[in-house]
A and B are shown apart, each in its own frame.
Chain A
């Protein structure tokens, strides 16, 4: 499975900056697009944009990652089972709040792990039955090692990363490919106002280009920017004795 991508492409969490860029990336290749978000009414202009720019067919769908019971119906209700599904759903929250408000912490854990995992599982089963498809999960480098500054979010992403790895393993012989995306910093609504090292921050379009290429080449795990592979290798190599005293 490599070469030209074919749609339809389902985008979960389509209101996010990264998802918008990813939708454009696939639409530019001529793929039909299914945009799914909690409030699809807000996506009318995005639909018009994809149609105007690339002349592809675009449909809008409502999805809530936290409403697990609805996921099977959501997938069977799509106009067609997508060839490719990209999950950009995620929620970072505020670490200080996540430490003391357990309801909020649970929401973070569920929005980054349970919800996306459930959606991709339903899609995976349908794709497995069909014998083809590509699933793309946008996880995060934050899941590579728990850090004081965002371990609630990070631990959920760690779970999601492991889930994607297992799914890939399970479906490798079934014609279904799974791509794990571990972006470093990306300039989106999620990171707006944060004081990040400028040189390490990618634009959403850069992530999108990397994702389309990863799907075309059936890559397994991508960091978007290679430097993050190196940074995370170093961070993971620090012995716990030392790591626990740092503030990275």
Chain B
């Protein structure tokens, strides 16, 4: 037995752990009892920890083929996006969709149907998955493509349809390893939303929100727009090596910081600093891909910054119609509670199909809080506001959602359960999250 938790390190649990190196290992593990697949453990909560066996997929990380005509890569599920970028950016390819960390596996990206800063234009990770091979409850391997039931449920299915063994994904041709970033500061939440609504044609768009300041300035922020740079965007000296970017050293947080390190005061300072930093450098500038997409990856193990108790993420999606009111209410509740969130990220979502994927056309807000009773209490309030505005919750970030709240937020739950019962997956693929939420 080993202690495992998600990225938030909230309430670790004892679980049996095994490593799969090949398909036969998955079959053997499955024959022995219920399990859940675990990728690189970047989901914040308990979705990749099983009360039975937690089957680590990282060692199944072989890339099997790449078609330079179509950009289709076939790989095992344990391959990291970081490895895909490492191998293919020098050849002119980049993932179409990437979350805010490159240290996720292909399997994890599919199981959560992750979104990037381009969902409003390109959709989620699943839009670029050509096929998946899944080992189901009976140990049989099925290849599924868009349109197939299994495909639809596996995208966003949080490992609960089976173990993803391999997938074929399409990569995006890029001319350089650089992003042209345009950072714009806004003074109010209204202005932030207006700005994001007015810049829908920007390929990448994300905003950081100030969740500390109360009053009219609440929700002021930095809207960061971006697009892949063309060779002509680079300074002449770099045009000959368009994919080369500075190799920034990564830092590692070698020990847990005391919980007070990120107390409201430091978070307040962090927020203000970020705000003024953004004000100083308006207008477009070139940013290397790693700094643009993965600022947090520069500090490995940064999750230790919240101390031993860990931290919690809250991420909801709100439909376009009620997003303004919903976001105002969410930020209001946070401001009133005095629990500033160090990282508050607002993104646009475009239309989304998918049987159980998280996004919906509108906005998504992600916040993190130190794990303590006050945060847990605040999150209940945020749950209610989300429900009141027709929103739903991101299971990849969740560690504490009550079952009733999930059910009230998502009318797809009964069909998901029925699928799990009919395929036998319910008794075979079990995570602490699926048990908590009755999935």
Contacts and interface: CB of A to CB of B under 8 A. Distances in A.
A52 B65 contact: yes
Interface stretch (A29-37, A41-49, A81-89): A41-49
A52 B59 contact: no
Contacts of B19: 189, 192
B63 A49 contact: yes
A192 B19 CA distance: 8
B62 A49 contact: yes
A52 B18 contact: no
Nearest to A48: B64
Contact of B66 (A46, A52, A189, A192): A52
A74 B19 CA distance: 32
A206 interface: no
Contact of B63 (A42, A48, A192): A48
Given A42-B22, A53-B87, A192-B18, A17 B63 contact: no
Among the interface residues B22, B64, B76, B83, which one has the most CB atoms of the partner chain A within 10 A?
B64
Contact of B62 (A48, A189, A192): A48
B143 interface: no
Contacts of A46: 62
B21 A189 contact: yes
B65 A48 contact: yes
A241 B18 CA distance: 40
A52 B22 contact: no
Give chain B's interface secondary structure class. Answer: strand
A17 B62 contact: no
B18 A45 contact: no
Interface string A196-237: 000000000000000000000000000000000000000000
Contacts of A49: 62-64
Contacts of A189: 19, 21
Nearest to B86: A53
A102 B22 CA distance: 32
B64 A17 contact: no
Contacts of A192: 18-19
Contacts of B22: 42, 45
Interface string A170-194: 0000000000000000000100100
Contacts of A54: 87
A52 B64 contact: yes
Interface size class of chain B, counting residues whose CB lies under 8 Å from the partner chain: 10 to 19
Interface string B287-306: 00000000000000000000
A89 B338 CA distance: 60
Contacts of A45: 22, 62, 64, 76
Contacts of A52: 63-66, 73, 75, 87
Interface string A52-75: 111000000000000000000000
A104 B400 CA distance: 51
B242 to A, nearest CB: 19
Interface in B35-76: 59, 62-66, 73, 75-76
Contacts of B63: 48-49, 52-53
B102 to A, nearest CB: 16
Interface string B1-34: 0000000000000000011011000000000000
Nearest to B87: A53
Contacts of B87: 52-54
A189 B22 CA distance: 12
Contact of B59 (A17, A42, A48, A53): A17
A39 to B, nearest CB: 12
Nearest to A204: B59
A56 to B, nearest CB: 12
A49 B73 CA distance: 11
Nearest to A42: B22
A189 B20 CA distance: 10
Nearest to B19: A192
A198 to B, nearest CB: 10
Interface in A7-50: 17, 42, 45-46, 48-49
A17 B21 contact: yes
Nearest to A189: B21
B276 to A, nearest CB: 40
B76 to A, nearest CB: 8
A26 to B, nearest CB: 15
Nearest to A193: B18
A219 to B, nearest CB: 24
Contacts of A42: 22
Nearest to B62: A49
Contacts of B66: 52
A42 B62 CA distance: 13
Contacts of B21: 17, 189
A179 B83 CA distance: 29
Interface string B77-88: 000000100010
A192 B73 CA distance: 30
Interface in B81-98: 83, 87
Among the interface residues A53, A54, A189, which one has the most CB atoms of the partner chain B within 10 A?
A53
B79 to A, nearest CB: 9
Interface of B: 18-19, 21-22, 59, 62-66, 73, 75-76, 83, 87
30 contacts: A17-B21, A17-B59, A42-B22, A45-B22, A45-B62, A45-B64, A45-B76, A46-B62, A48-B62, A48-B63, A48-B64, A48-B65, A49-B62, A49-B63, A49-B64, A52-B63, A52-B64, A52-B65, A52-B66, A52-B73, A52-B75, A52-B87, A53-B63, A53-B83, A53-B87, A54-B87, A189-B19, A189-B21, A192-B18, A192-B19
Interface of A: 17, 42, 45-46, 48-49, 52-54, 189, 192
Given A17-B21, A45-B62, 4 more contacts: A17-B59, A48-B63, A49-B63, A53-B63
What 5 A-B pairs are tightest by C-beta distance, nearest first? A49-B62, A52-B63, A48-B64, A45-B62, A53-B87
